[in-house]
């Protein structure tokens, strides 16, 4: 190795390690923030959701940090409860979506005909307008919590499935899989012991990055009236109800819930990108 290579190789390794360490610290902070949000949703009581006309239309104050709405309900409590609900809806929808993507991508190792069908299905879903598909599925299922979760799960798997399929195609013809086939191992055994462990990092990252999309789309279709019921303290419901009061100067009804929703989405997006740098050594070495 040349003198220049000897001189700069330790520096490059140190830089890569510092980058991965920063990504790990950022991920830990993001996880702590999310855990605080979810746990606080359980421990905050529902007293702030009760109607109190004496405190209606109050601007943000020490007593009510996010103000109150036209019924006197505490907007901080409504926002936290709504974010907690969005968290669990996004978690369940993203999990089901990731599971669908994994199962469909694994059909590549079984049969070329099945793989062609899955590829066509991916292209079909990616070619359809996303919001229109979401609204149609949710509307057909009657809306509500069940309809929203199923609609989100059925529309967020194609991109992850395409990514997993590309990973499988790269390793399907590797030497160790060829040796396993020559030893008489079934494709089920190969998928379980060789392919699935290779897909786990991509699956985890894809699941986390699907999460913010699911949360935003849940809020969007709920805002349009095709999602969660208006009786539930969802962020989409809060934003939809606040539209009729913004012209009256009650800006806090939409500002704080909207900012908190964007904050949650940004934290999940940051968590996914940092985990990609940690789990994927090639990504972690890039600037």
234/81 Cα distance (integer angstroms): 7
59/72 Cα distance (integer angstroms): 11
DSSP annotation of 50: S
Sign of CA pseudo-dihedral 174, 180, 186, 191: negative
- 279 pLDDT band, cuts 50/70/90, is low
In a domain, residue 11? The reply is: no
Task: Confirm if 190 and 104 have CB atoms less than 8 A apart.
Answer: no
108-147 pLDDT, tens digit each = 766 778 878 888 888 888 888 888 889 999 888 887 888 8
76/137 Cα distance (integer angstroms): 32
Range among 25-39, 140-154, 185-199, 227-241 rated most confident: 140-154
- Domain housing 157: 23-44+66-284
What percentage of the chain exceeds 90 in pLDDT? 5
Residue 65 has pLDDT above 50, yes or no: yes
In sequence order, what DSSP letters do the residues of 209-267 get, joined into one string? HHHHHHHHHHHHHHHTTSSS-TTS--HHHHHHHHTTTGGGT-THHHHHHHHHHHHHHHH
In a domain, residue 49? The reply is: no
Sign of CA pseudo-dihedral 254, 68, 243, 139: positive
Task: Confirm if 276 and 283 have CB atoms less than 8 A apart.
Answer: yes
Mean pLDDT of the chain: 80
The torsion angles phi and psi of 60, rounded to 5 degrees, stand at -55, 135
Mean pLDDT of 62-75: 86
Mean pLDDT of 90-105: 90
Residue 97 has pLDDT above 90, yes or no: yes
Query: For position 287, what pLDDT does the model report?
Result: 41
Mean pLDDT of 236-241: 87
Residue 96 has pLDDT above 90, yes or no: yes
In a domain, residue 57? The reply is: no
Residue 80 has pLDDT above 70, yes or no: yes
Task: Confirm if 19 and 284 have CB atoms less than 8 A apart.
Answer: yes
Residue 51 has pLDDT above 70, yes or no: yes
- 266 pLDDT band, cuts 50/70/90, is confident
In a domain, residue 111? The reply is: yes
Mean pLDDT of 176-187: 76
Mean pLDDT of 256-272: 84
Looking at the structure of the chain, the number of domains it has is 1
In a domain, residue 14? The reply is: no
Residue 1 has pLDDT above 80, yes or no: no
Give the least confident one: 37-46, 92-101, 156-165: 37-46
19 Cβ partners below 8 Å, 6+ apart? 277, 284
In a domain, residue 7? The reply is: no
Residue 11 has pLDDT above 80, yes or no: no
In a domain, residue 177? The reply is: yes
3/228 Cα distance (integer angstroms): 65
Mean pLDDT of 54-82: 86
CA proximity to 240, closest of 255, 252, 222: 222
Looking at the DSSP bridge assignments, the partners of residue 74 are 68
Q: What's the distance, CA 165 to chain centroid?
A: 20
Q: Which residues of 57-84 are buried (b: 16+ CB within 10 A; e: fewer)?
A: bbebeeebebbbbbebbbbbbbbbbbbb
148-181 pLDDT, tens digit each = 999 999 998 998 988 888 888 888 777 777 777 7
- 77 pLDDT band, cuts 50/70/90, is confident
Any idea what the CATH number is for the domain that residue 219 is in? 1.10.3720.10
283 Cβ partners below 8 Å, 6+ apart? 276, 277
Tokens matching residue 272: 């996914």
Tokens matching residue 95: 């999990």
Residue 10 has pLDDT above 60, yes or no: no
Query: For position 285, what pLDDT does the model report?
Result: 45
In a domain, residue 59? The reply is: no
- 57 pLDDT band, cuts 50/70/90, is confident
- pTM of the entire predicted model: 0.79
Mean pLDDT of 234-247: 85
């Amino acid at each position: 190795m040349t003198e220049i290579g000897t001189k700069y190789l330790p520096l490059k390794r140190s830089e890569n390690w510092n980058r991965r360490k920063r990504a790990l610290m950022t991920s830990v902070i993001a996880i702590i923030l999310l855990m605080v949000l979810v746990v606080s949703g359980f421990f905050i009581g529902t007293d702030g959701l009760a109607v109190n006309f004496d405190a209606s239309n109050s601007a943000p104050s020490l007593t009510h940090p996010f103000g109150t709405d036209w019924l006197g309900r505490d907007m901080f409590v409504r926002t936290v409860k709504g974010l907690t609900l969005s968290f669990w809806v996004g978690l369940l929808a993203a999990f089901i979506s990731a599971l669908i993507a994994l199962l469909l991508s694994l059909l590549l190792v079984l049969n070329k005909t099945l793989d062609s069908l899955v590829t066509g299905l991916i292209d079909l879903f990616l070619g359809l307008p996303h919001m229109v598909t979401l609204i149609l599925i949710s509307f057909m299922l009657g809306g509500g919590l069940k309809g929203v979760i199923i609609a989100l799960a059925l529309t967020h798997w194609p991109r992850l499935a395409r990514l997993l399929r590309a990973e499988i195609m790269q390793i399907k013809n590797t030497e160790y899989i060829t040796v396993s086939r020559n030893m008489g191992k079934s494709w089920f055994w190969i998928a379980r012991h060789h392919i699935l462990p290779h897909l786990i990092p991509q699956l985890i990252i894809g699941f986390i990055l699907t999460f913010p999309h699911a949360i935003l789309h849940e809020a969007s279709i709920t805002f349009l009236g095709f999602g969660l019921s208006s009786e539930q303290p969802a962020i989409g419901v809060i934003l939809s109800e606040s539209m009729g009061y913004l012209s009256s100067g009650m800006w806090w009804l939409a500002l704080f819930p909207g900012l908190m929703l964007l904050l949650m989405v940004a934290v999940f997006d940051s968590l996914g990108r940092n985990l990609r740098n940690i789990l994927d050594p090639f990504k972690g070495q890039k600037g």
